[in-house]
A = this chain, B = another copy of it.
């Protein structure tokens, strides 16, 4: 295998190699690209990986860890260390393209059992060796960096199985390193589904979902990961916490909730019990609607969520710019149907698409969809069939893989997302747009994709030519200004990607000093030596580095 930086930042998915002709056309239009601009790859990262920083782990320490997991499950070569030093945050991908690996772990360790993890955590705690639990590495928040070295704990190699399905309790218990497709395949074969389908589904793990507080694309019906977790087993430096699978209790604090969104800072999540759902893909109903304005679409969405007639599973709105791009890349733009749409007032730059699926029991699906259709009609939306939803579902995961070919073209592209109340949604949306549009040649697509009675999320995607030679600082400044704009206008720091190190600097001003003190107290209890994913994740105070070798 080619041990290049490129091999690390690529998803390894064939679908990521191609840019469809309509997308090429769009890029030319939006960014003033000529044919020549498509010839060479910008910062292709073809060099062999080399890490200058010497591993901080002493040979004796490595030997001890090796004695726990065995020779084959500890890797110390540069390529492996670099591979485990990052997730899929744009800034990380850029660093790799520039050949920069400044936060690699000293070793990658793949434990084979809970007992091995307990031994490792106990040893690392006594030796002050950082430990970074790693799942599918689809993090987009810089949560997997190892600024103080230590070991990356690869949970995917051995701890990737379904332990138990209870058809009576309707729960599944899994090891944290299981991937989305493995879990889903095993559940589907028994007539169940997990219902958790983040865009990173194909490359993420159950442990990562929980650690980052993820949300799947159909979370409006199935819930966010924190709505699915029933119990957890976690190995912390302060001992093992194993909670029970009661549906609800009133016996103090649900400790398992402290580990949801803990981003590896408290301990290693080893086992997860999740609520599961009936798997009836044939019963799924879907519908696409178009609206004359974003406001009208949002109002219909809010009414549907607040009408108490049942909920859809997938519920999305694309804002006007995202809708226009969908029309363009889908080949609908200026089609006969498009001309009809324009004539009756659904205009480019204003119109919005809404997608719905309902995925429960057959009659329920029909019932809820009928209700939503009525609400949409009353809100001046037009039903445009189900095929647009089907097309969207066909690329529900792969649209993420286009980022690398875009970066090859020198296009900066990243996503941000935020939770908003219904009251603040339009303000956050319009101020974010105003901010982004100050940058020339910048595409800004927004959708709403996780919806609640009390609010929703806004999901932002921007594309803009890189400032060549100044890629990192240009991105950082632009990204940082967008985060400022979101939080200053009432959005949360994150709805489902987590905080990591990227959003950490905003935590204290966003949550308040007293909240951050409480965060740090929780951290200190479970991880008194600050070995668990140290270095500022979640905005946690980096205790004096003397704790870390």
What's the least CB distance linking A430 to chain B, in Å? 16
The interface residues of chain B lying within 8 Å CB-to-CB of A517 are 238-239, 525
When chains A and B are docked, how far (Å) is the Cα of A363 from the Cα of B538? 45
B250:A278 contact, CB within 8 angstroms: no
Chain B residues near A306 (CB, 8 Å)? 170, 278
Q: Please tell me if the beta carbons of A453 and B422 are within 8 angstroms of each other in the complex.
A: no
**A244 / chain B contacts, CB cutoff of 8 Å:** 492
CB distance from A263 to the nearest CB of B (A): 8
Q: Which chain B residue lies CB-closest to A306?
A: B170
**A524: nearest residue on chain B (CB-CB)?**
B521
* A258 closest partner in B (C-beta): B253
| Residue A69 is within 8 A (CB to CB) of chain B in the complex | no
Which B residues are in CB contact (< 8 Å) with A263? Answer: 252
Q: Nearest Cβ in chain B — how far from A383, in angstroms?
A: 19
Please report the C-alpha to C-alpha distance between residue A251 and residue B521 in the assembled complex, in whole angstroms.
16
CA distance A100 to B241 in the complex (A): 41
A226 contacts which chain B residues (CB < 8 A)? 248
Measured between beta carbons, the chain B residues less than 8 angstroms from A261 are: 250-254
Q: Cβ of B361 and Cβ of A309 under 8 Å apart?
A: yes
> In whole angstroms, how far apart are the Cα atoms of A55 and B404 in the complex?
72
Min CB–CB distance A82 → chain B (angstroms): 27
Set of chain B residues within 8 Å of A456, measured between Cβ atoms: 247
Q: Which residues of B contact A2 (CB under 8 A)?
A: none
State whether A538 touches B453 (Cβ < 8 A): no
Q: Contacts A310-B310, A494-B251: A512 and B242 contacting too (C-beta < 8 A)?
A: yes
Are A247 and B452 in contact, with the CB atoms below 8 A?
yes
For the complex, is A224 an interface residue (Cβ under 8 Å from B)?
Answer: yes
Let me know if B308 and A419 touch, CB within 8 A: no
Q: Write the nearest CB–CB distance from A233 to chain B, whole angstroms.
A: 11
Answer yes or no: A129 CB below 8 A from chain B CBs: no
* Set of chain B residues within 8 Å of A212, measured between Cβ atoms: 250
By a beta-carbon cutoff of 8 Å, the part of chain A in contact with chain B is 166, 168-171, 212-215, 224, 226, 230, 236, 238-255, 257-258, 261-263, 275, 277-278, 302, 306-310, 360-361, 363-364, 367, 371, 419-423, 450, 452-457, 492-499, 503, 507, 510-515, 517-519, 521-522, 524-526, 538-539
A–B complex contacts, Cβ < 8 Å, 20 sampled: A168-B421, A168-B422, A212-B250, A214-B250, A224-B248, A238-B514, A246-B492, A246-B495, A247-B421, A247-B453, A248-B495, A249-B492, A250-B499, A252-B519, A252-B538, A255-B511, A277-B308, A308-B361, A367-B367, A522-B522
Q: Beyond A166-B421, A236-B514, A521-B522: 7 further Cβ-contacts under 8 Å?
A: A166-B423, A168-B421, A250-B261, A253-B261, A253-B262, A255-B518, A309-B364
